[in-house]
Amino acid sequence: MESLRAFLRSLGKHRTFGPFVRLEAKAAALSPSDWLVVSALGAIMGLAAFAMLASVSTALTVEVPAHGGTYIEGVEGTPRFINPLLAISDTDRDLTALVFSGLLKANPDGSFAPDIAASYTESDDKRTYTFTLRSDAQFQDGTPVTADDVVFTVNAAQNPEMKSPRRPNWEGVEVAATDPHTVTFTLKAPYAPFLENMTLGILPSHIWKGVTAEEFPFNNFNTHPIGSGPFSVESVKQNGSGIPTEYHLRAFGNAIRPPFIDRFILKFYANTGALTDALNRGDVEAAHSLNPTNVNVSTVVNEAVFTRVFGVFFNQNQNALFADAALRGALSQAVDKEEIVSIVVSGYGSPIGGPLPPEGVASTTGDSLSKEGRIASARDTLTRAGWKLGTDGIFTKTVKKQTTRLAFSLATSNTPELKRAAELVAADWKSLGADVELKFFEQNDLNQEVIRPRKYDALLFGLVVGREPDLFAFWHSSQRIDPGLNIGLYANSDVDKKLEQARAESDPTRRRADTKSAADLIAKETAAVFLYAPHFVYLTPGSVHGIVLPSIETPSDRYMNVDEWYVKTERVWPFLTKNIFALFSI
């Protein structure tokens, strides 16, 4: 004990070290001004050291997406059915894409990746698909996703009393659950695009199984949905009439693909003008399908191919004029497609020469001829085919003493875009020497009274060919009569054969080759006057990164990789990222 006390006393003794004594003496001799200089030098050295360390840290670390942030987007319209089986409007589909997930997820490059499914197999005869579900997949109320949920969703889609717009995709498909995590689909015949059906959002059967088809549209879960997607509904704002004005979504942490963005807010506006004003005021920071020239705030303009084509389709059954291939060719030659793109879609589109949209937004089929040159070339085509320009400026053709005047009507929707496009087309054809009568219809009247009964001479209309182009419904001869969509009443046995092959071909490269070959034949025969393919325009803030737009079939496709969008970032050491092996070439 005494030895311990001695040791402690020794520690308390004042000791000196030669160099420190000399430093202490010098420090004591410093004046206040000297201390100020020393302090300043020390601060500079400290800052320099900090800057050096920060520089080293920046050089040796990488910036990666971080969780957090809020994204506020404005959309036109009001949601009604946030339900993958009932969604009919763009706003319905937007929210459905954010809240629900399917067995597979479509990627921007056109491929499909497992989502709720862990894996799948395809039978040798291409008719049976077997999917194995992930064991950790769950709905936003914590309930596991099972094969029964998948079977319930598909059966509901197939129910004719449900009147689901997705029903045609599931006709003739048998679905069965072989165990809680395995489901099989059996087709009557091979159908290559079938995998796209697997992106259908899955409904929780424990919520919906007791709801009848008649009650389905009126259920509260259509506006306060439960899905298994990247975002869940946190709250809904409504106006005095109970109409939703905002949906506030929160990242679903247990999603198969949890997003980086923490909160996602959608605000709804009655029309394009109101949405543009909201963006200019800063009430929202993103919007799609607006003309960028009307926006006076800084945004990133994201463009993508819209998988739809607009053209003029001919009805030879109502007006025999259009059986003349030379006439159809001259009508196509006369149209200034570049002008239409410039005026109708403010340059955000591509002129086209066939039934497929361009492969990219930079693609163009424009020619170098002037408007006068096009008209002259088209007149020459007509003249060589036996047509003569009359004193009234209209072409006529006499066959077996029967004279036919180049006169016909052009019908289209009364929407501003299509109406303006029709006016431009008609003006070019009148300059050519045709007597064209324009007819405009409200959209519903156009569908029911004009298109379905095929009561038109020529029809300016748009076709949605899809991300995986399937021209069968629009150009196969079996689809000429309603409810088929072959509005050009086109028939060609070679095209039929190629379109049938494309539908049965499982190899994507060969399938696209068959489709392209059919499209080339259709274009060569000038089966229609193909005008333009609009671009999808998505205006977003510069603070949001990771947005990769695919080819857009419906506007909700912009959310295809929404789980990879991010606002926040952080710097981490390379070995903490997923790219460590690539970084060190392992």
pLDDT at residue 12 in the model: 55
Would you say 129 and 114 are in contact if contact means Cβ atoms under 8 Å apart?
Answer: no
Would you say 139 and 228 are in contact if contact means Cβ atoms under 8 Å apart?
Answer: yes
Q: What phi, psi does 265 have (nearest 5°)?
A: -115, 125
Work out the pLDDT band at 60, boundaries 50, 70, 90. Answer: low
pLDDT at residue 483 in the model: 87
Work out the pLDDT band at 575, boundaries 50, 70, 90. Answer: low
Q: Is-cis flag, bond preceding 483, omega within 30?
A: yes
CA distance linking residue 402 with residue 400, whole number of Å: 5
Residue 31's Cβ-side half-sphere holds a number of Cα atoms within 13 Å equal to 2
For residue 515, CA distances in Å to 344, 348, 355, 495, 500 come to 28, 26, 10, 9, 9
Q: Which residues contact 288 (CB under 8 A, 6 or more apart)?
A: 75, 536, 537, 538, 539, 555, 558
Residue 429 has which token pair?
């054809």
**What are the DSSP calls for 434-471, one per residue?**
-EEEEEEE-HHHIIIIIITTT--SEEEEEEE-TTTT--
Element (H, E) at 65: strand 62-66
Compute the average pLDDT of residues 219-244: 96
Work out the pLDDT band at 284, boundaries 50, 70, 90. Answer: very high
Q: In 3D, which of 475, 547, 499 has the Cα closest to residue 299?
A: 547
Residue recorded with tokens 């995590």? 181
Q: What phi, psi does 188 have (nearest 5°)?
A: -70, -30
Residue 347 has pLDDT above 80, yes or no: yes
Domain boundaries, the chain: 19-60, 70-301+540-565, 308-535
Residue 428 has pLDDT above 80, yes or no: yes
Residue 227 has which token pair?
């899905």
Residue 1 has which token pair?
């004990």
pTM of the complete model: 0.84
Strand order in the sheet with 388-389: 388-389, 395-399, 402-405
Where does 112-259 show beta strands of DSSP type E?
112-114, 117-122, 128-133, 174-179, 182-186, 231-238, 244-251
Would you say 105 and 114 are in contact if contact means Cβ atoms under 8 Å apart?
Answer: yes
Cross-strand partners of 302: 538
3-state secondary structure at position 190: coil
Counting residues of the chain whose pLDDT is more than 90, the rounded percentage is 78
If you compute the radius of gyration of the chain from its CA atoms, what whole number of angstroms results? 33
CA distance linking residue 468 with residue 551, whole number of Å: 9
Residue 11's Cβ-side half-sphere holds a number of Cα atoms within 13 Å equal to 6
Residue 584 has pLDDT above 50, yes or no: no
**Which own/partner pairs from 336-342 qualify as long-range (CB within 8 Å, at least 24 positions apart)?**
336/371, 336/374, 336/424, 336/428, 337/365, 337/366, 337/531, 337/532, 338/366, 339/371, 339/424, 340/421, 340/424, 340/425, 340/531, 340/532, 341/532
Work out the pLDDT band at 583, boundaries 50, 70, 90. Answer: very low
Q: Which CATH code is given to the segment(s) 308-535?
A: 3.10.105.10
CATH fold for the domain made of 70-301+540-565: D-Maltodextrin-Binding Protein; domain 2 (3.40.190)
Work out the pLDDT band at 359, boundaries 50, 70, 90. Answer: confident
pLDDT at residue 27 in the model: 56
User: For the chain, first and last CA: distance in Å?
Assistant: 62
Would you say 381 and 433 are in contact if contact means Cβ atoms under 8 Å apart?
Answer: no
Compute the average pLDDT of residues 454-483: 93
CA distance linking residue 50 with residue 584, whole number of Å: 28
Between vectors from CA 304 to CA 301 and to CA 305, what angle results, nearest 5°?
150
Would you say 502 and 511 are in contact if contact means Cβ atoms under 8 Å apart?
Answer: yes
Compute the average pLDDT of residues 316-343: 96
User: pLDDT: is 65 or 27 the higher one?
Assistant: 65
Mean pLDDT of the chain: 90
pLDDT at residue 506 in the model: 79
